[in-house]
Structure 1
Amino acid sequence: MKTTPTIRCGLAANPSPLSGAARDPFLDAIRTIALLRVMLWHTFGDPVLTYVIAAVPTMFFVAGSLLAKSLDRRPWPRVLADRARRILLPLWAFAAVAFVAMRVAWLLDPSPRTAVPWRSIIFWIVPLGDPQGSAWEGGWMSQPLWYIRATFWLFLLSPLLRSALRRFGLVVFVPPVMAVFALDVLTRNPAVTIHAAPELLWQIGDLALYSIFLMAGFAHRDGRFAHLRPSGWFGGAALAGIASTAWILTQPVPLHVVNNSHPAHLFVGTAWLCLFLACRAPITAVAMTSAGRAIVGWISLRTMTIYLWHSTAVILTYQVLASGDDRPPGVYAAAMIAGMVSITMVFVVAFGWVEDLAARRRLLVCPLLVASGDSPGDRAPFAAHRRSVYRFVGVPSLAGVLLLGGCAFMTQPMSGEAAAAADGAVGGAVDGGVVASRVAKKPPVPSQAPPRPEFERAPSTSAPASTTSERRAAVVAPAATIAPAAPLAPEADDALATAIQRTVDEWRARWNVPGIAVGVVQPGSLSWRGASGADPVTGAAVDVDDRFDITSITKTFTGTLVFQLAAEGRIDLDAPLPRLVRVPDFPYAAGITVRQLLTHRTGLVPYRDTRAYAAAPDAIDTPDKALAAALLEPLQFAPGTKSAYSSTNFLVLGFLVEEVTGLGYDALLEQQLFEPVDLRSTTHSPPSALAPNFATSGIVTDTADLLRWGIALYRDHTVIDVVGLAAMHQIDTSTGLGPAVYGYCPCTIDDSGREHWQWIGHTGGTTQLAYSDTDDIAIALNVTDSLWLENRGRAVAELLTLLRAAVLGATPRAAIPSFS
């Protein structure tokens, strides 16, 4: 007689009947540890976390060991079909929800930001490439799917890799290891770029790297490592740790994130894997305890669901917590973890059963609900579980809501000593931009490639009237004198002014920008300045005459000073950097040129990405300290081989112009730039904690003066001769970086093969300056939050297009510029 099952809502004492097969508790345990580390990384984005447990190598090692067991027992076509089903069904469920969410966002707010990427839907169905989402989801749903792409490819290749290991033994590891280092060299070389598929080399590197750990799992299953004692594994961990340290100290690891360097990931992953294997006995012992078996067993049954949905849980939690600015130390981190875990659990209950369906095992709404007395083939009716399911869903959901609500209450803006107490929370900043609050308000977007300019072939009948290349052809000699600043233009008539104001108001509402000040000028024809919205901190309406810190646009002033001195023959742009009295121990002087500093091709690390800045950002309060912090780090790459934006370059240029002229930087600004251009509302702020300023940032101005500066610099040659202007127009078409200038798309290629930028200019933390030499239009704008938020680049590109169309009396392009 069968005993009536007793249903409990809690952690199962023994989850093995749910799996229907014996499992290795060690493998399940280290995969659980790795998955939890992935969740923490996506929640907080702190680079330190990538050194604490190499999560993805560990997960591929476990996958390899389990896959080898399956390949040994069944024909490989059946194994691949089974694994493909286990990957694809949960992915399709996630994709269905993602596309419904993106479609609803578009229906509620039809705009380029919410446009659904139907062209990429094939990779959501068969992940042979990286699935792409809309700009609205900001990568939180699509970006982590690179791991699904890598997993899918390695499962397809697994029969070949398994056969190779059996035939050739451990020597089979040599080719992928060599490929990891060879591909790293290729990806560092800017000349080696596959324009049709710019991420292809990196994706091949993924396959090379993770195939090593997959095959290590094969070898583990075969018992090839059985003879190694824990002391041997500890020795391997130590050697890999030493190799990791040596590589990270001597080679570029972008943003100090292990995941951004395949060789670093290989070393760190090997070190942690050896450490796990050395500690196999204690890890297994913990995993075999009652609580260990329950937690590890449950997570093992829902690994794919947790991975697919946790990132969405992170961004949903952030949206709840985003209302506050300052908070007591640790509260934000605790709230993020509580919210992420609670929401992920709800997703697991809602969608985790798809994993059971994919594995062809009995469907369980809640794997934590275990019926004592059930056999693997039994399936209790849902009605018997209903109350427990309600408890399981309701308790964490209610707890999550209460925790998030409580934390949201606690995160209301504080003042005085309470705000000072919150200063110890985690924070971040964008190099060259407005220094972000030290209190972390939003975790960084999961790892992704920087945006690149995209050039399209222009119709042969519509070549630009004036192009950068054509202007360079006319350059023959420096201007003899510095001319006075030209007046801007008469104001736009009432009808046009009203139309432009309406365009700005509608754009601000469409893109959820709190406030913006804008100026537009077409010299000799018209000018317009206006404002819309309010400051989200003070609540004050934005005024057209408000002054603001243009941060990195200060670099255009520094670059102009350098070009002035080059025109006078006092600086050689292509000679090695001379010895600087103020930086006598500058180690790279002989190998770096002034032009490389101007074009961000030195490899110098941004001072905000240094260990010294991370440890004590308040202490970096002078340009000397900022440069010293950067010089403690190895170069990101060999000078001249690659472009990477770094404010450190312009600190060096500031010291250089001071030494060449014998004048201070502020005196040079006043004498050479502010006075000749008649910048009456423009000043330069002194260095301060978190903001060394100097030659890299700190100029404060308004839209009128910023427009006057843009016209003087890019159009009238008021402060720079035509030779210097031509040099400034030498913009790298793969990155958009030039000497103290950016190139902005839409970007075209004419019939002769020459590239054309619609705009040139520069961007700071909240400010953008852009000039179109084709249309003779300059635009200056400043938003009240940041230009570095997700999709803000696309938003600004759209605004530039709309303002250009309004001035020219044309209809805006249907397609939004692709570069952001």
Structure 2
Amino acid sequence: MIRTAFAALLLLATPAAAQELTPEQSAQVDRIVADALASTQVPSASVAIVRDGKIVFTKAWGNQGPNVPAATPDTKYQIASISKQFTAAGLLLLEDDGKLSLDDTIGKYLPGISGGATITIRQLLSHTSGLQDYWPQDYSFAAMESRATPQAILDRWAKKPLDFAPGSQWQYSNTGYVAAGMILEKVAGEPILAFLERRLFKPLGIRPVDQDLAVGKGYPTGYRRNALGPIRPVIVPGADWMFATGELAMSAPELAKWNIARIERKLLPAEDWIEQERMIRLTDGSPANYGLGVSLSQRGDYKQVSHGGAAVGFLSQSIVIPDARLSVVALVNGDFGNAQSTIANGIVSLLLPAAKANDDEAWRTKLARDFYAALQKGEPDRSLLTENAAYYFNAETVRDYRDSLGPLGAPTSIEPLGAPRLRGGFVNRNYRIVYPTRTLTLITYADPGRDGKIEEFMVTPAS
């Protein structure tokens, strides 16, 4: 039934203000989205594209659920952790007002938290505080069926021993953003959403809502899936679990307006945008690949500012390439399949000018293609492997790669899937391997540098 509804609603979706995309580009966007939804069976997607600082394309596809008569890009999806950049922006504004400093220790505002005498607000916003994350799981646990309070979350998770000394490591922590939101409310003297409405949303001309209220008539239904089983509506969590860490529901065009403000350095003082996008350094000097509520990476020669979101039943992705004046927002109402990332990265790759392609990354892509071809023959160049990778590619592994991949022949293409990123001391680069009848995903890790040895080279079916 979901597949039938998807096919019917796909016909109803209509683009708005797409005149600055060529007909061919619009058709390619349609294919990127339709392929991602078809391969994952995620029910719907909503996309907004910004070019040259203007919204040039909005469209919704598929089944947004029984509470939305027809798919529309104005439907507000839960954007979850993309909300973190709004929380961080609110605290930057309070710093501009002279009411706090991001380098204040949090014990000044919230007594009783582990490490409160040393953790700073900046470390909360950059995920370097050491506070244990209260929701690392990709599912909602039993306690989330009941209402929460921010204080109860801190009492349960923020009073445990720190996972590491503040500033020494990067580890995603929703708990840290609950603490940040409580500080914002205490200093501002009003609820966080009221503050954000007054200082950010109203000036932008957008009307986000509390994601706890984005349920029922007019709002999309969130869906889940167990492995490859049937697609089912989610059980809506209790209220306030996402306080300050993922509190917003908004449409793709509304989020695009915020991204335009980032590109134009408007709404906030320019210094605040710069501060939010400043790379955080750990105590050993290594980059955290994160600023204040935003992920930072390179896409070729371009700086990329991005963030994803995961709520119960919803996934989202926002990508901004400030120097190219380009942004893509992709929102979906299924918390499985990773369609939102495939869509957003596919559209960015389609529209980002190719003139600034990074020579080193082009060389690494060629290396990936050559090594894949060698594996198809069962003849990998072992001089390219680290000690761990050499152990992984034993005789059995090489034989399995040869026997399963060799018969497929030469692929139609092997292209980067997203931008490279650091993880565990290695550079992670992923690729999409396309054949006429199937698509594979290649996950690689390598030592840093143009000639870094391969730590992982793993081929899996595409999602």
The TM-score, its normalising length taken from structure 2, stands at 0.60
Residue pair 1:491, 1:526 contacting (<8 A) in 2 also:
no
**How far apart, CA to CA, are the structure 2 residues paired with 1:813 and 1:524?**
31
Q: Is structure 2 residue 160 aligned with structure 1 residue 633?
A: yes
Structure 2 residue aligned with 1:816:
417
What is the count of residue pairs matched by the alignment? Answer: 316
1:162-190 CA deviation, whole Å, 9 max, x = no partner?
A: xxxxxxxxxxxxxxxxxxxxxxxxxxxxx
Match of 1:736 in 2: 289
Distance across 2 between alignment mates of 1:720 and 1:698: 20
**1:544 partnered with 2:70:** no
Aligned pairs for 1:233-312 within 5 A: none
Q: Which has the higher contact order (CA 8 A, sep 6+)?
A: 2
Secondary structure (helix, strand or coil) at the match of 1:492 reads coil
> Structure 1 runs of 4+ off > 6 angstroms?
536-540
1:779 matches 2:328: yes
RMSD: 3.5
- How far residue 648 of structure 1 moved from its aligned partner, in angstroms, is 1.0
Is residue 2:200 matched to residue 1:599? Answer: no
Deviation at 1:575, TM superposition (A): 3.0
Q: CA deviation at 1:614?
A: 5.7
The Cα of 1:647 is off from its aligned counterpart by 0.9
1:716 aligns with 2:267: no
Q: How does 1:343-742 map to 2 (within 5 A)?
A: 491-492=19-20, 495=23, 496-509=25-38, 512-523=41-52, 527-535=56-64, 542-580=71-109, 583-608=110-135, 616-619=143-146, 621-680=148-207, 682-685=208-211, 689=238, 691-712=240-261, 714-732=262-280, 735-742=288-295
Separation in structure 1 between the aligned mates of residue 84 and residue 54 of structure 2, nearest angstrom: 29
**Does the 8 A contact of 1:591 with 1:639 survive in 2?**
yes
1:763-774 residue pairs with structure 2 within 5 A?
A: 763-765=308-310, 766-774=315-323
Residues 1:743 and 1:667: Cα distance change in structure 2 (over 3 Å): same
Deviations 1:340-393 (A, max 9, x none): xxxxxxxxxxxxxxxxxxxxxxxxxxxxxxxxxxxxxxxxxxxxxxxxxxxxxx
Deviation at 1:761, TM superposition (A): 2.2
- Distance, in Å, in 2 between the alignment partners of 1:494 and 1:737 is 34
Q: Structure 2: which 5+ residue stretches go unaligned?
A: 3-15, 214-236, 281-285, 357-412, 422-429, 431-463
Amino acid of the residue matched to residue 247 of structure 2?
G
Amino acid at match of 2:187: V
The 1:668–1:723 alpha-carbon spacing in structure 2 relative to 1, beyond 3 Å, is same
Counterpart CA distance in 1 for 2:275 and 2:340 is 29
What does residue 227 of structure 2 align with?
A: none
| CA distance in structure 2 between the aligned counterparts of 1:685 and 1:507, rounded to whole angstroms | 25
* Inter-CA distance 526–540: structure 2 relative to 1 (3 Å threshold): closer
Q: Could you tell me which of 790, 800, 811 is aligned with 2:348?
A: 800
Q: How does 1:198-209 map to 2 (within 5 A)?
A: none
Matching residue's letter, 1:647: N
Sort the Cα spacing of 1:609 and 1:647 in 2 relative to 1 into closer, same or farther, 3 A. same
Q: Classify 1:677/1:539 alpha carbon distance in 2 versus 1 (closer, same or farther; 3 Å).
A: closer
The AA in structure 1 aligned to 2:309 is G
- 2: CA distance, partners of 1:768 / 1:792: 6
- CA separation in 1, counterparts of 2:300 and 2:26? 28
- The Cα of 1:798 is off from its aligned counterpart by 3.0
| Per-residue deviation, 1:507 | 4.4
| Aligned residue type for 1:679 | I
Q: Partners in 2 of 1:539 and 1:768 — Cα distance?
A: 22
Structure having the larger proportion of residues in helix: 1
Contact 1:490 1:525 in 2 (8 A): no
Contact 1:489 1:525 in 2 (8 A): no
1:515–1:784 CA contact under 8 A, matched in 2: yes
Structure 1's unaligned 5+ residue stretches are 1-322, 325-487, 749-755
Q: 1:691 to 1:626 in 2, by over 3 A?
A: same
**1:731-780 residue CA offsets vs partner (Å, 9 max, x unmatched):** 357553221101245355xxxxxxx53x2122111111111112101111
Identity, in percent, stands at 24
Q: State whether residues 107 and 113 of structure 2, in contact with CA within 8 Å, keep that contact through their aligned partners in structure 1.
A: no
| CA deviation after TM superposition for structure 1 residue 615, in Å | 6.5
- Counterpart-to-counterpart distance in 2, 1:569 and 1:784: 40
CA contact (8 A) 2:46 2:59 kept: yes
